[in-house]
Chains A and B, each alone.
Chain A
């Protein structure tokens, strides 16, 4: 059992008082020694869909790992009645060779014994952008400009909690982008950010990172 850990909004550039975000494990910036469970499972989960089959095997294992973890830690019976789950889209649109619906797959794995869970692809990536960990870091508004709300997914009302699932939180920009679009679409439910891992920096690198901001 690993309880959800509430994120300290003050430590995240784009999180404000009204945000509720939680994570489970940690991801060391740069991959660290690649030996902690958090690092391994995040690196495997993020493997590109164009990777060779032996690597995709570990990606599938990581989807199972995180899906299982969520199904253990979430009260799925309660969630089925009061929550809509939404995967954070990846930075590439459908059809792009690097398009990756890993967060949707994690949610489906989580829901494998609770099919009544409400999982919707509420946001769609319209155009490719560099992913946050590769290129320059974009602001929430910039990230939002690459995405739109999937109107077809709004046919039924969103439940009282809208749980946004993403793999890693670094500054909260993607989460905030999702929140902006959801609010613009007139959705007025409680948005909850759920992250598999939060990014951490070994102290010797933290100063460099802060200086680069």
Chain B
């Protein structure tokens, strides 16, 4: 195996001097390969991976995977996504560096995130705007208006780069000269829907693109299974933001996953009045009972968000 060890760049060592640290130093690439290896196991999903890390407190992915397997995964990754894409992929891993502690509020916190762009945006005041992929004209207009107002009030607009409400929110945030974060349901090197490829590339270059989807696992699975990554990313999007705004959504929309997550994570959940007016929808009343806030207009939202900040600042 020696030949392989030499080929593997930028992996941690067990050099004697590392004893000066309380825990083994990490190499981001090594952690990414180890994490991808864990996802290669049959049945791996966010819930059981979170359990695995819960039962191994303080462990990082490379503590749980053999070195040989990590090396194999690195070769696979180089083949599948290419060395250049690999080197432009940033990761955040629980236990080191700039991993955001707010992710731990999720039911099954992700141990590792992939990103491209300006990571510091994660620390800005941010609000998620989400909703249906096939909005009414009014819905799309509202998403854009809210994004615009949020930007003008200093918030970063977070959404999922899907068709419809998501696209309207990102686009309006950019048009208003603001910052936006996209939390996507595909790996960083994939685009869904395809027509948002340019938008995704722009966000990765000038803003922040985040994914929790492992490259190799996604590649190995069919569309049907990969679809599950979309609602999973809504849980992460909620954890990363201080509030979620639902602009428009049907009774079976994946957006409702984010509504549940926001309440479970003690984030604010805003639902537009227009959703309540649609009598065929049962979820607005249901979530209102659980703690969601019904809002008449954009000023309400801004008011409730900035009151919050004033309170925090006084503490």
Residues of chain A having any CB pair with chain B under 8 Å: 1-6, 8-10, 20, 22, 24-26, 28, 32-33, 35-39, 72-75, 78-79, 82-83, 160-161, 163, 190, 192, 200, 202-204
Contacts and interface: CB of A to CB of B under 8 A. Distances in A.
Interface in B9-23: 9-10, 12-13, 15-17, 19-23
Contacts of B204: 203
12 contacts: A1-B95, A2-B95, A3-B24, A3-B95, A22-B25, A35-B124, A79-B20, A190-B17, A200-B119, A202-B118, A203-B118, A204-B118
Given A3-B60, A3-B95, A8-B27, A72 B206 contact: no
Contacts of A25: 97-98
Contacts of A20: 13, 15, 17
Of B22, B116, B119, most buried by chain A (CB within 10 Å of CB) is: B22
Given A3-B26, A6-B26, A10-B9, A33 B123 contact: yes
Interface residues of B, number: 36
A32 B121 CA distance: 9
Given A4-B26, A25-B98, A83 B120 contact: no
A6 B15 CA distance: 12
Of B9, B60, B88, B119, most buried by chain A (CB within 10 Å of CB) is: B119
A36 B98 CA distance: 8
A2 B20 CA distance: 15
Contacts of A83: 17, 20
A1 B24 CA distance: 12
Contact of A5 (B16, B97, B206): B97
Interface in B186-235: 204-206
B58 interface: yes
Contact of B25 (A3, A26, A160): A3
Given A33-B123, A202-B118, A82 B20 contact: yes
